[in-house]
Every structure is written in structure tokens, then in C-alpha cells.
Structure 1
């Protein structure tokens, strides 16, 4: 795991890096706070070679922040807020670094949670034409199949998310437990609820991927793609998020959710739990099995 190259970061930004404070590591990269010669502060992810991961994160952040759906804009209206979406501007990126503005963390307040709910509803509403995304995806440093498709979300989710990660992580499950997840995949058309158009979703929106700063919740570390809006809401509840019911209530006021959406939370949580089973092993086995059982019970 290589550290930050301050000279390269300075070249990317066109301004000298004056100071670096290491902020730990995550997966295959290190985390840093840097102070620039012009007085700005920035956040940097650095790795020996994470070209695919950093490219996907860059594309995802810009796509979440853009209004045109092509992912080619810079995701910013000049003040770092993604043109109204709660997404920070990508300042620079290459195969070894991803640079974002430094956002000082603060305690989340109820008003900020309600704002996040409204902004998340607006973000989802700017949906793409298809499920998937026009770039290779990653969640942590595991690849995601983002193949674009006009098929129903239920089949896209089963074929591009559940089945691949059951294959990757299934060795941690007993045969009967694998068969339970396979049942979810087989019956998914009847479990997925009423059809919805593709939403522009974060894709990995657990509570740790919301950074509270400046009176709002910022979305970070996305696995962005055209998906189902209930996925982001289910992810917020997976490991807990502050003022979650306020987020959900504000969301529902702007964009009412389909009947039975709470019953479908385990279905949407099943994929990230399979990801954790792959990353961290059998400690997530019971949660995978519980989510699969809850999904088929509806």
C-alpha cells in the first residue's frame, strides 16, 4: 500500500502541497488531509495502483452530481456541492490518487437529515434510461458488473449483483443457506415490488458513506449506477444512520415510496451483506441468511 506522492498531487492540482496529515487507510488505499499553498485543504486517497477503482469513483461522483446523465461533467457548480446534489467535486484523479475538497466533519442535526432526505429524493428522480452504468464498477475494491440493461430491475439485480456475489462468497455458507439465496434469485420477480424506472443511486449508501458537514449530508465513496431507489434507503438502515426516520420521512414527502417498501428492505440489503461476506468472512453469515429468509417471507 503506497502513500501519497505530494509532488504528483501538486502537479494534478497546479498548486504546491504544503502539508500532509495521514488519516489512516481503507481497503487498498491510504487516506490523507493536505493543505495547499493557496490555503485550500483537500482530501486524498492514494494507492500503488487503483486505476479501475479511482476511475469508477471519479465517474460515479461526477455522474451523481451531473444533471445531464452522461457522467462527463465536473459534478460541481463552483461551490463544491455538485450542482445542488449532495456530492463533492472531484478536484483531480489519476491511477494513484483521488482528490476531493476537505469537508470538516460535524455532528448531524435533524435539519441536516431532513435535507438529505429531500436531496436524495431529487437525486434519484434524475434517473438514467437504463439500469447499470457505462463504466466498470467497484464496491470497496471488488469489481461490480455494471452492464447496461433495459430488462426489469429484478433480473438485473439478480444477475448482476446477487448471483455473482453468491458465487464469490458462497463458500462461507452451508449448502442449505446457499439454496436459500438461490431461492431469492429464482423468485425475485415476485419479491421486487411494483416496477419503477431506473434511479440515479449511490449504490453503497451505508451510514459511513454520508459525511456530515456544513449543515448537510455529503455522499462519498459511491458504487454509483442506475438502480432501484429503495436500495439506497435500505443501505442507510443496514448498519444504522443518524436521524434515519427523519431522512426517510423527508424523502417520502418529496417522492412517495411504493407500498410495502419496508418489507423489501432485506432484499436490497442482501447484496451488500454478500459483499461483506466476501470481504470479511463468516462473521456476516448469519446476517446474509437472515436477510434471505426475510426477503422470501416478504
Structure 2
């Protein structure tokens, strides 16, 4: 079997009989690999920048090490600079209260994992978040990290691309002095998924939750909670079960617009559409 999108170093020795294209996101080509030992998942990124796949692998391995057994993270079978092969997750399980509660409990346990600093998991790796590369070098102050390493640079990119109303710069200037308040009570660095929208959570045929496509780093757990609320797809039973195991600091829902600014600004820069307006609206809500 050969494919222009599947480097030989990803498939050699795996006895691949067939590669079937499947959905892989906006930057990757993805395949179900049929092998003599069962299906596998392969993802490739054409012209992947140096360190991008290594950073994803580090995130998967960290999540896999620290997630409870109830919360699956796919095993890395093989990877290279341009792609990755993972165990195949057979989706199709029914989502209901039980799966939502199990996810909430599992995520709460995962978020108890503490790190040595805010930022990249491995200081020897670049700090990729999806297909963007912010400054994720180790830092000791979360509130400033969030403002200066994530929100402000992403706003600059969106403004330079003409994807957001220039009023956003004035709004952030008003909010910046409140960065510490808006970030909430200080917490130790926590292992976060980093891109936890509904599409990066699967439920398999046995009803087990799985986390995929992480952009993991040492951060603040409200990053994951806010992302889960941004596009929907997670039930209130999930958040209730989470709170019962690992209660977020008081007022966390009021801080959600601040924590949603990084993904909104990143989407505004990359896709335009209504994301810029949504980011402006989030900032306005924080000033009300």
C-alpha cells in the first residue's frame, strides 16, 4: 500500500492492506489503516513545521499517563516529523447522563495533575497549539502568561489580518489591568488538554470517553472548562460531576469569556466569519 500523504516511515512493517480516508480536521489528512492486526488511525500534515508532531505526541503521552482508566487516550503506535499512527477508536456509543458524568469525573481527576511551570510540557519542544506556535516557554505567572503569551498576540494577529474590529484593541487595553482578577484565584500549573471542544471527545461503542487531538501544556484548568462551553456538546451533568470531584474556584463561569478569548481570537485570525465579533462581544461582557 502506498499513498502520497502517508510517508513510508509511518506504514513500514504495519502490514497495511488498505488506507481509507476519514475526517482529519482542517490541516491534516487522516486515514483508517486496515491491517492484519486490526484497524489503526493515521494522520499526516503536509509540510508539518519542525516539532509539531513531537509536541502532539508529548501531549498524548502525558494525558495517557495521567488520565484515569475510565478516560481513554489513544496509544501512539508510531510517529514521524510529518505524521502519527494511533490505535483506532470505534465510535458509536450512546451519549447520555452516565457518559457525561464519567467524563466530568475523569477530567476532574486529570486536572489534579500538577506541573513545574506554566507553558510547554517539555522545554526542549516548541509550544504548538494546533497549527499555531505561541510563546509557550516556561513561566511562573499564569495571569500574565494568559494575557501576554496568548490573548494579546492572538489579538495582534487578528487585527493585522483585518479579521476583527479595531475597537478590540481599545477593549483589551481596558481589560488588561484586570488580568489577574479575570484569570481568577491562583492555582498550581495543571495538565490541560488545551483544545477540548466536542469534536476532540469521542465515545466508543462500549460507552467509554476518549480524548483526542490535544494541544496539552501546563496551564489553568478553566481553559478546558471554558473551551467545553464555547461550542457546546457537553451536558450539564458533566460539569456537575466535575464540580463534585474538583470544584472550580468561585465565579468561574463569570470568567468564561476571558478564557474563551484565545480560541475565539485564533479562529478569527484563521477563519474570519463571526469569530471576531464573538471575541469583541466577550470583551464587552467582561466590561459590563
CA–CA distance in structure 1, aligned partners of residues 286 and 133 of structure 2: 25
Contact (CA 8 Å) 2:257, 2:282: kept in 1 or not? yes
Corresponding residue SS for 2:251: coil
Contact (CA 8 Å) 2:127, 2:137: kept in 1 or not? no
- Structure 2: where are the runs of 5+ without partners? none
Corresponding residue SS for 1:279: helix
| Corresponding residue number in structure 1 for 2:265 | 274
Contact (CA 8 Å) 1:7, 1:16: kept in 2 or not? no
Map Cα deviations across residues 50-70 of structure 1 (whole Å, 9 max, x no partner).
143212111111112224xxx
Corresponding residue SS for 2:173: helix
Q: CA deviation at 1:282?
A: 4.1
Higher relative contact order (CA 8 A, sep 6+): 2
Contact (CA 8 Å) 1:121, 1:255: kept in 2 or not? yes
Map Cα deviations across residues 107-161 of structure 1 (whole Å, 9 max, x no partner).
322211111111101111012121111232223311132111112x111111111
Note closer, same or farther for the CA distance 1:129–1:83 as it changes in structure 2 (3 Å cut).
Answer: farther
- Structure 1: where are the runs of 5+ without partners? 68-80
Contact (CA 8 Å) 1:207, 1:237: kept in 2 or not? no
Deviates more, 1:204-213 or 1:107-116: 107-116
Matches within 5 A, 1:57-206: 57-67=56-66, 85-106=71-92, 107-133=94-120, 134=122, 135-151=125-141, 153-170=142-159, 171-206=162-197
Deviates more, 1:47-56 or 1:202-211: 47-56
Compute the TM-score of the two structures, normalised by the length of structure 1.
0.87
Contact (CA 8 Å) 2:193, 2:224: kept in 1 or not? yes
When the two chains are superposed, the root-mean-square deviation of aligned CA atoms in Å is: 1.9
Note closer, same or farther for the CA distance 1:3–1:251 as it changes in structure 2 (3 Å cut).
Answer: farther
CA–CA distance in structure 2, aligned partners of residues 182 and 205 of structure 1: 28
| Corresponding residue number in structure 2 for 1:77 | none
| Corresponding residue number in structure 2 for 1:223 | 215
Corresponding residue SS for 1:66: helix
Please state if 1:288 is matched with 2:287: no
Corresponding residue SS for 2:287: helix
Deviates more, 1:198-207 or 1:18-27: 18-27
| Corresponding residue number in structure 1 for 2:25 | 26
Corresponding residue SS for 2:266: helix
Map Cα deviations across residues 61-112 of structure 1 (whole Å, 9 max, x no partner).
1112224xxxxxxxxxxxxx88665321111110122111111112322211
| Corresponding residue number in structure 1 for 2:227 | 235
Corresponding residue pairs, total: 278
CA–CA distance in structure 1, aligned partners of residues 116 and 8 of structure 2: 41
Note closer, same or farther for the CA distance 1:262–1:99 as it changes in structure 2 (3 Å cut).
Answer: same
Q: CA deviation at 1:36?
A: 1.2
Map Cα deviations across residues 218-258 of structure 1 (whole Å, 9 max, x no partner).
1111110111111101101100114x211101101111111
Contact (CA 8 Å) 1:3, 1:46: kept in 2 or not? no
Q: CA deviation at 1:25?
A: 4.5
Compute the TM-score of the two structures, normalised by the length of structure 2.
0.90
Corresponding residue SS for 1:180: helix
CA–CA distance in structure 2, aligned partners of residues 277 and 182 of structure 1: 19
